[in-house]
Amino acid sequence: MSFEIARSGINAVSGSLEAISNNIANSGTYGFKSSRANFSAMYSGTQMNGAELSSMSQSIEKSGGLFNTGRGMDAMIQGRGFFAVKDDSGQQVFTRVGIFNVDKDGFVVDANGRKAQGYGVVVDAAGKPVPGAGLGALGDLKVPTGQIGAEASTKLAFNGNLSADWTVPGAPGPLPAFNANDPTTFNSSITSVVHDSLGSVHKVTQYFVKTAANAVTVRYSFDGAMQPATQALGFDGNGKLTGPLAPVTFGPVAIAGGAAPLSVDIDYQGTTQYAGDTTTLTNTADGYAAGTLTGTAITDDGSIVASYSNGKKQTVGTLALATFANENALQAVNDTSWEANDATGAALFSRPGSATASKLTVAAIEQSNVDMTGELVNLMSAQRNYQANTKVISAENEMMQNLMQAV
């Protein structure tokens, strides 16, 4: 019986050595989670039968160290959660390794070429993303690889300080006739860049003329051609804008070359009239020219942001994180991944930072959580256990030989 007990101990220790050696081998593997062998005693009724390797425990809840990569498509999960990926056969597995890329077909894939799972964007009838529309359907994440179409300008925000020290042009005489080429007929000017429906660049110039105390008239030109419309700006005794408080429409202006007529709503909110320098705080218009995809990056809430050659950025999808009721029951498979099963419960998907899923640290990946010092101590302990059991077998064998010789 002693032989069998010692043999069971050796078998159990061998399983522990396998776990320890696997941990040490993967000490440099990104996203790896260490495991531990658990022993239990064996009995047949009241008869001792030795020890056995009863189970293997994973330290999934223990995070690995952070490794900064500086790469926009790398991401580390700060706490709970797994990235979900699918291989070419459609099998879904889960991983903590956040190394992603965009393949030639536009799919977001991990380092092993598996398609990342996430939420698409909600688009309108023209196929353009709808801002603030929430998350789209869950599935393979795909980045549009073509160009982004041109968008005509519709809004122009301008504000700054129109100096209260201005004098009325021509004062004390009559106000002279306005002439864009004669700076003595106006007090200041500002030029804004806008785009038409084909993406061509145009210039809207505003000429500010002080006409009376707390009163300024704005004249407009489009690509150097004066426009008939004017706009009066009024200020109170504290230098605050009294009107117009709502955006005013400039246009429509006919565009040569086939583009649609251009109308832009100009918002003067925030403009002031204080003594001192004339300043421009805001002078921005929406709209843009066509552009091609130049790169992608992940944000801490999992959004995939595409950058284009025209300087525009837009969210084209959101990575999904999966959490489980019993994540320690996940079954480890190749490529530093895990499979779900009945014991884990169904995967619960959400965007990073919501529900039970953690936020991401971008431009970083998770290192192995193996404690090398602890593993080496465990290795020495397992070695002593192994030697002790082999000593029992050796001693038992020697006793049997002595017994046979005595007979």
> Are residues 334 and 218 part of one domain?
no
- Bigger pLDDT: 129 vs 352: 352
Cβ atoms of 204 and 250 closer than 8 Å: yes
Q: Which among 321, 377, 374, 386 is positioned nearest to 34, based on CA atoms?
A: 374
**Does residue 209 lie in a domain region?**
yes
> Are residues 106 and 21 part of one domain?
no
> Are residues 334 and 225 part of one domain?
no
> Are residues 71 and 101 part of one domain?
yes
Q: Which among 363, 376, 364, 332 is positioned nearest to 27, based on CA atoms?
A: 376
pLDDT, residue 149, reads 85
Residue 225, domain CATH? 2.60.98.20
> Are residues 42 and 118 part of one domain?
no
> Are residues 273 and 166 part of one domain?
yes
**Does residue 304 lie in a domain region?**
no
pLDDT, residue 241, reads 97
Number of structural domains (the chain) is: 3
**Does residue 29 lie in a domain region?**
yes
> Are residues 229 and 161 part of one domain?
yes
40-88 residue pLDDT tens: 777 777 777 777 777 788 899 899 999 999 999 999 999 899 999 999 8
> Are residues 186 and 104 part of one domain?
no
> Are residues 55 and 113 part of one domain?
no
> Are residues 382 and 352 part of one domain?
no
Cβ atoms of 83 and 319 closer than 8 Å: yes
Cβ atoms of 47 and 402 closer than 8 Å: no
Distance between start and end Cα atoms, the chain: 21
Q: Is 131 helix (H, G, I), strand (E, B) or coil?
A: coil
Residue positions counted in the chain: 407
Domain that holds residue 381: 2-62+368-406
User: In the predicted model, is pLDDT for residue 336 greater than 90?
Assistant: yes
392-398 mean pLDDT: 68
pLDDT, residue 103, reads 94
> Are residues 230 and 191 part of one domain?
yes
| Other Cβ atoms closer than 10 A to 60 | 20
- Bigger pLDDT: 12 vs 180: 180
Cβ atoms of 93 and 114 closer than 8 Å: yes
**Does residue 181 lie in a domain region?**
yes
> Are residues 140 and 75 part of one domain?
yes
- Proportion of the chain above pLDDT 90, given as a percent: 68
**Does residue 193 lie in a domain region?**
yes
